[in-house]
Structure 1
Amino acid sequence: MADPRKPGQLRPIERLGALIETLRGENGCPWDKKQTPCTMARYLVEEVYELVDAITSGDPRAVCEEAGDVLFQLLFVINLFSESGKFTLADVVEKNVEKMIRRHPHVFGDVAANTPAKVSENWDKIKLQEKGGAEPLSVLSSIPQSLPALLRASMVSERAAKTGFDWDDISGVMAKTMEEWEEFSTEIHSPESESGGDKAAVEFGDILFTMVNVARFARIHAETALIRSIQKFEKRFTYMEEKSIATGRDFASLSKQEMHILWDEAKEKVG
Structure 2
Amino acid sequence: MSVKNIEALIELIATLRGENGCPWDRKQIPKTMGVYLLEETYELLEAIQSGRPDEVREELGDVFFHILFIARLYEEKGHFDIGNVTRGITDKMIHRHPHVFGNETVSSEEEIRENWRKIKKREKNHFRQTSVLDSVPVHLPALMRAYRISERAAGTGFDWEDISGVMEKVEEEWAEFKSELKQGTASETKKNDIALELGDLLFTLVNVARFIRIHPDTALTDAIKKFETRFKYMEKTISDSGRDINTVSQNEMNELWEKAKKIEN
TM-score, normalized by the shorter chain, greater than 0.5: yes
Cα distance in 2 between the residues matched to 1:234 and 1:68? 28
For residues 170-209 of structure 1, the aligned pairs below 5 Å read 170-191=163-184, 193-196=185-188, 197=190, 198-209=192-203
Q: Quote how far apart the aligned CAs of 1:145 are.
A: 1.2
For residues 1-271 of structure 1, the aligned pairs below 5 Å read 11-131=4-124, 134=127, 136-191=129-184, 193-196=185-188, 197=190, 198-270=192-264
Any gaps of 5 or more consecutive residues in structure 1? 1-7
Q: Quote how far apart the aligned CAs of 1:103 are.
A: 0.9
Any gaps of 5 or more consecutive residues in structure 2? none
Shift in alpha-carbon separation, 1:188–1:133, aligned structure 2, 3 A: closer
Q: Quote how far apart the aligned CAs of 1:142 are.
A: 2.0
Shift in alpha-carbon separation, 1:34–1:212, aligned structure 2, 3 A: same
TM-score (norm: length of structure 2) = 0.91
Partner deviation per Cα, 1:83-120 (whole Å, 9 max, x = no partner): 22211111111111111111111111101123211111
Amino acid at match of 1:70: V
Amino acid at match of 1:169: D
In terms of fraction of residues, the more helix-rich structure is 2
* Contact kept? 1:188, 1:194, Cα under 8 Å: no
Task: Quote the sequence identity (%).
Answer: 53
CA RMSD of aligned residues (A): 2.0
Cα distance in 2 between the residues matched to 1:181 and 1:86? 51
Shift in alpha-carbon separation, 1:249–1:132, aligned structure 2, 3 A: closer
Amino acid at match of 2:229: K
Per chain length, whose mean CA-contact separation is higher, i.e. which structure has more relative contact order (CA < 8 Å, sep 6+)?
1
